[in-house]
Amino acid sequence: MTLRALVADDEPLARETVRRLDGVGDIELRRETADGRQAVDAIRGFRPDLVFLDVQMPHLDGFGVVEAVGPEAMPATVFTTAFDGHALRAFDAAAVDWAEAAGDYVALHAGPQTHLLRETLTGLEERLDGRRFLRIHRSAIVQVDRVRDVKLTAAGDAKVRRRDGTEVRASRRYWRGLEARLGGAA
C-alpha cells in the first residue's frame, strides 16, 4: 500500500531532507507546503495518509495546524523540528494517546500506529506534564483525558479503558492515583 505524503515546512533545506524519503518503502511524497495555512488547506483538500509537519512555521505553527484540522481528522503525523524541546510538546498535544516500555525504548501508540523512541519510560515520565499524563504501571503511561473508565479486577489491579477502546493494565501500585484523578473506579 502506497502512503501518500505531504511535507509542511517553511525551510527549503528541511523539505529537501524529507523529500529523500520519496520512494523509500511505501512513501510517495506528493505535496509540499511552506506555511501552516497552506498545510491546513492541503490536508483538507489532498487528504494525505501521512504528514511530515514542522513545529515552527509562519502564519500557523504545526500545533495550530493540528488544532485547525482537528486531531481526530489528522492523518498519521510525524512532527519535524530542529529543536528537541518541541518533541515533548508534540507528545503533549495528543500526537500520542499512551506509551509503554519496550526494552531500551518507549513504544508510543498513536492511533493504530506504534513508534519507537530511544528513551526510558522513567525519562519520558519526568519530562511530561504530570497534570495531563499519569503512570499507571511500571511499563505504561496514559494521557488522563483519554481515559474512559477504570475497572478493578479480582486480582487487585485495574484495567484502564481508553476512549478508543484500548485497555491498558494498571498495577496496584499506580491505579489509585488514576482513580483519584478520575473520581473513582467502577
Instruction: Walk me through the domains of the chain, giving residue ranges and CATH numbers.
Output: 1-95 (3.40.50.2300), 96-186 (2.40.50.1020)
Q: Note the pLDDT tens digit of each residue in 45-67.
A: 999 998 988 888 999 998 899 89
Q: Name the DSSP class of 112.
A: T
Give the residue-averaged pLDDT of 85-111: 69
Looking at the DSSP bridge assignments, the partners of residue 24 are none
Residue 51 grid cell: 504528514
The order of strands in the sheet holding 167-170 is: 147-152, 158-162, 167-170
Q: Which of 142, 139, 180 is nearest to 160 (CA)?
A: 142
Q: Note the pLDDT tens digit of each residue in 120-155.
A: 889 888 888 788 889 999 999 998 888 888 888 888
Neighbours of 79 (CB within 10 A): 19
pLDDT of 29 strictly over 70: yes
pTM beyond 0.75:
no
- Per-residue confidence band for 7, with pLDDT thresholds at 50, 70 and 90: very high
Cβ proximity of 81 and 120 under 8 Å: no
Give the residue-averaged pLDDT of 66-95: 72
Cβ proximity of 108 and 99 under 8 Å: yes
